[in-house]
Amino acid sequence: MKRRAFITLLGGAASWPLAARAQQLALPVIGFLNGQTPAQFADRVAAFRRGLKDVGYTEGQNVAIEFRWAEGEYNRLPSLAADLVERRVAVIIGSANAAALAAKRASTTIPIVFTTNGDPVLLGLVTSLNRPSGNLTGIGLFSSPLIAKRLALLRETVPSARVVAVLLDPKTQAYASQRKEAQEGAQALGINLVFLAAASEREIEAAFAAMVQQQLRALLVGASPYFIWSQRAQIVALAARHAIPAIYTVRDWTAAGGLMSYGPIPSETYRGLGVYAGKILRGAAPVDLPIEQSSRFEYVVNLKAAKALGVALPPKLLALSDEVIE
């Protein structure tokens, strides 16, 4: 090979990484903001990528994703949101209540697609479900209205329990709505409730001590990021130790050894986030994308946990279950 040709080839090879980098930078960028860790949300992120792919976007090919994880330190969310705004991403995913609120405070112009545990109107994210205002849209899990159904399932499981303990996190934004829904559901079923608030490991221990002291034999655990991501193992272990049948919000709990759960299907929710993000990349405005509401829910029971608790799950409930973990 002639020297001139070799130098030309060498120069072209050296430019390949630069060309690839330039192409990567030219891709639209989605900012994914979340309060937890990558490991905890791996299945949900996979579902989000599937949603993107359903509308024609594949990470690394025609879209890039910048992840920002607060790793349980929610006070970091505002700075992480500000970082995504400075990065000038095309869309921000506000994954769960705290991240959605942080994203909203960080930008009034960048489209934001959120998921919430609760009514996004009551949380102050949007003013309307059918036609969201400003730069936000997303999926509302509306978990609070499911509390009445959870109470009914718990009563079917423990028919002798006329008083049910309700463990809530007073620091979660949906605390008031969950308490209200629980009271209304209990009134319709003719049962009484004992509310126990806990926002720390020590307070959770104290709450279970109170259940034992008051001889409460059934428990409903409310929706809370702190409960499910930080203290899930503690709560499930305490329920097992004190032989208290409990119902939880989503499958993560039953997979971790909890007795049963009833709630939205996280993979469907996050796939929906991906679809909405893709639609916005294609030119849709958030105001034209109504807030979606979860329409499918799953009831999951854990037979191993039932056996350990000494609970005989009624055949009717087993027949109604979407999944039985053995």
Q: 134 Cβ partners below 8 Å, 6+ apart? A: 108, 126, 286, 287
Q: Which residue has the tokens 């050296």?
A: 14
Q: Return the structure tokens found at 215.
A: 């001889």
Q: Return the structure tokens found at 90.
A: 């095309």
User: What pLDDT shows up at residue 28?
Assistant: 97
CB 86 within 8 A of CB 306: no
Q: How far apart are CA 71 and CA 38, in angstroms?
A: 8
User: What pLDDT shows up at residue 85?
Assistant: 98
CB 59 within 8 A of CB 49: yes
- For the entire predicted model, the pTM comes to 0.88
User: What pLDDT shows up at residue 187?
Assistant: 95
CB 177 within 8 A of CB 222: no
> Is residue 33 classed as helix, strand or coil in its secondary structure?
strand
User: What pLDDT shows up at residue 6?
Assistant: 41
User: What pLDDT shows up at residue 22?
Assistant: 46
CA 150 to chain CA centroid, nearest Å: 18
CB 156 within 8 A of CB 315: no
Q: Are strands 163-168 and 136-140 parallel, antiparallel or unpaired?
A: unpaired
CB 45 within 8 A of CB 269: no
Q: Which residue has the tokens 């991240």?
A: 99
Q: Give the mean pLDDT per block of 10 residues along the chain (326 residues).
A: 44 46 71 97 97 98 98 96 98 95 97 91 90 92 82 96 96 89 94 97 98 97 95 98 97 98 94 98 96 90 96 94 95
Residue type, 277: A
